[in-house]
Amino acid sequence: MSNTALKIAYKPVGLLLGAGAGLVSGLIFKQVWKVAGHDDDAPNATDQDRGWPEVLLAATLQGAIFAVVKAAVDRAGAVGVQKATGRWPD
């Protein structure tokens, strides 16, 4: 399989993995926030009753969790493609 064909074939796989990573990271964040925030719902940036520290902490945790989960899923997908095709997807 040529590099161009591999890139084209990997695009839909990468999109599906990215969507899955978003769902998984959202579920993980909700569980972490229940423990860290002592509340079922994380604050939105526009929640009038929540302060800056709480809103920024929630955003920081959510971003960090998303980045770690996305990197792990992307890496696992690339390793899987390499095992299946013998080439690393670029």
| Domain residue extents for the chain | 3-85
Non-local (6+) Cβ contacts of 14 within 8 A are 74, 77, 89
Average confidence (pLDDT) per 10 residues, the chain, 90 residues: 77 89 95 86 92 94 96 93 88
* pTM for this entry: 0.84
Mind listing the pLDDT tens digit for each residue in 32-55? 999 987 788 899 999 999 999 999
Distance (Å) of CA 66 to CA 6, 20, 50 = 26, 11, 22
What pLDDT, on a 0 to 100 scale, did the predictor assign at position 1? 66
